[in-house]
Amino acid sequence: MFVKCFLLSYNIFGDYMHIIKNDKIFSVKYCSNFINKSLGFMFQKRKNYALYFKNCTSIHTFFCFFPIDVYLLDEHNKILYSYYNLGKNKIIWPKKNVKHILEVPSGLVKEFTLKDDN
CATH number assigned to the domain comprising residue 49: 2.60.120.1140
What is the distance between the alpha carbons of residues 39 and 41, in angstroms, rounded to a whole number?
Answer: 6
pLDDT for residue 113 is more than 60: no
Number of domains in the chain: 1
Residue 33: domain span:
4-112
Q: What is the pLDDT of residue 16?
A: 74
> Over the stretch 33-78, which tens digit does the pLDDT of each residue have?
888 888 899 998 988 888 999 899 999 999 999 999 999 998 888 8
Quote the radius of gyration of the chain (alpha carbons, Å).
13
Q: Three-class SS of residue 110?
A: helix
Mean pLDDT rounded to a whole number for the chain: 79
Residue 117 domain-assigned? no
